[in-house]
Amino acid sequence: MAESPYAALHDRFRRIGAVRDAEAVLHWDLATMMPKGGAQARGEQLAVLKSLRHGMLVATETGERLQAATEDVTLDPWQQANVREMRRLWAHATALREPQVEALSRAATNCEAVWRQARADSDFPRVLPYFAKLLELVREAAQAKAERLGLSPYDALLDEYEPDGRAADIDTLFADLASFLPDFLPSVVERQAQAAKPAEPEGPFPIEAQQATALRLMRSLGFEFDRGRLDVSLHPFCGGTPDDVRITTRYDEDDFRSALMGVLHETGHALYERGLPADWRGQPVGEARGMVLHESQSLLIEMQVCRSKAFLEFAAPMLREAFGGSGPAWQADNLYRHYTHVEPGFIRVDADEVTYPAHVILRYELERAMIGGDLAPADLPGAWADGMRRLLGLAPPDDRRGCLQDIHWYDGAWGYFPTYTLGAIAAAQIFAAAIKAAPQILDEIARGDFTTLLGWLRVHLHGKGSLASSRDLLIEATGKPLETTAFRAHLYRRYFGE
């Protein structure tokens, strides 16, 4: 009996997924273990793998089978959703020629390798030629995808990270934030300035102790170390595969707080990956439903859970033990004041939740301008400084704390940045729904028990993979599409109600 078109597609996309997973592990190794001299060879390896994956996607038989599977009325809802997701990936892939895919991959790997040293030396001119070349290729790909998908070039890039995401919807949500954050921020800063400064925990804080504490907290949250690991990289990230999750952080012996929250943030990503439907491993429908929900899960863990009073009641004794601390500086209330301190700063990943949206809005504005051809790569440092002054009232003293601080653009990830703040909005909305459904969650967090919360997330989000759109999944979980109401309420409650 001949294999059905759907069965053939299922097998093809399983193989495509395996190639993609191999790329993910090679990327993790590039960022954590690979010696500098391996960059060129790694670039070639990744380019070949991406070319192979692209070829499997755009093959004539893939399109023919997709058409036949789309018309197959015998498929169940999961299979239908799988075909829908296959078609989306196929549409993106068929917009580009194989040489474009290889050229983009090589340019991104080369640019990232140079960025690492340029960032360390705060030397934007060093990476500029590579950056300009990469941007040129990204713009060409964006235009090709725009024509194929019937979207604007920026929306075509955004669609890769957030399916069906559109700049017009982002503009509406960001305008809503802009209507209250400019007044809210100074009021929070003034209120905190009127109180006595929180006591500073005394360091240094040995990296070994920081790592050991991070591992303990990861285990408490539900991270499975037989399915993942924690390492060090220049820029914290979560990578690997759902059954082999790789997360990283970076340590500072003078301050344990940033690294610890970085780990907890990435643990949120990892928990989402691990909770994706196991029956659909390697299939598009079994993958995470876009970066808005992915970022919502990391920010739910970091901002909603781990910066809460309840969590710090649980974590404070562990931190005192790890660093030999004692006295008022190590009490939960004092640590809470540190973790909810609001102050404009240069670095996005260290930003508090009130100023964080400004960092994202800046990057969103700049990348749209660069994709649209309205901002030349050479003018990025100046435009970055101007935007920081306008949005946060300060300008970076050097490029390392300015336009070189993030890896995304130098690694070819364009259209990703807005998902961070959209994820923060979604995180507040999802956490509020979880608390409404199971009010005991807050008391459990204070005891270091995250079972109910994780179980609720597994049922309502993680286990659904890409069965529905982000909008529909959010409505099913919270009763509403994405809106800023819960995010605003969270900020007012944390900074004026507690």
Residues taking part in catalysis: 266
Cα–Cα distance for residue pair 216/229, rounded to 1 Å: 13
Query: Residues 253, 287: contact at Cβ < 8 Å?
Result: no
Cα gap 150→165, rounded to integer Å: 14
Do the Cβ atoms of 265 and 49 come closer than 8 Å?
no
Helix axes of 356-371 and 124-149: crossing angle, nearest 10 degrees: 70
Q: Which of 278, 285, 282, 279 is nearest to 84 (CA)?
A: 285
Q: Over the chain, what HEC string results?
A: CCCCHHHHHHHHHHHHHHHHHHHHHHHHHHHHCCCHHHHHHHHHHHHHHHHHHHHHHHCHHHHHHHHHHHCCCCCCHHHHHHHHHHHHHHHHHHCCCHHHHHHHHHHHHHHHHHHHHHHHHCCHHHHHHHHHHHHHHHHHHHHHHHHHHCCCHHHHHHHHHCCCCCHHHHHHHHHHHHCCHHHHHHHHHHHHHHCCCCCCCCCCCCHHHHHHHHHHHHHHHCCCCCCEEEEECCCCCEEEECCEEEEEECCCCCCCHHHHHHHHHHHHHHHHHHHCCHHHCCCHHHCCCHHHHHHHHHHHHHHHHHCCHHHHHHHHHHHHHHHCCCCHHHCHHHHHHHHCCCCCCCCHHHCCCCCHHHHHHHHHHHHHHHHCCCCCHHHHHHHHHHHHHHHHCCCCCCCCCCCCCCCCHHHCCCCCCHHHHHHHHHHHHHHHHHHHHCCCHHHHHHCCCCHHHHHHHHHHCHHHCCCCCHHHHHHHHHCCCCCCHHHHHHHHHHHHHC
Specify the long-range contacts of residues 447-451, CB closer than 8 Å, at least 24 apart. Answer: 447/314, 448/220, 448/314, 450/220, 450/221, 450/222, 450/305, 451/222
Please check whether residue 283 is in contact with residue 9, taking contact to mean a CB–CB distance below 8 angstroms.
no
Compute φ and ψ for 248, nearest 5 degrees.
-135, 160
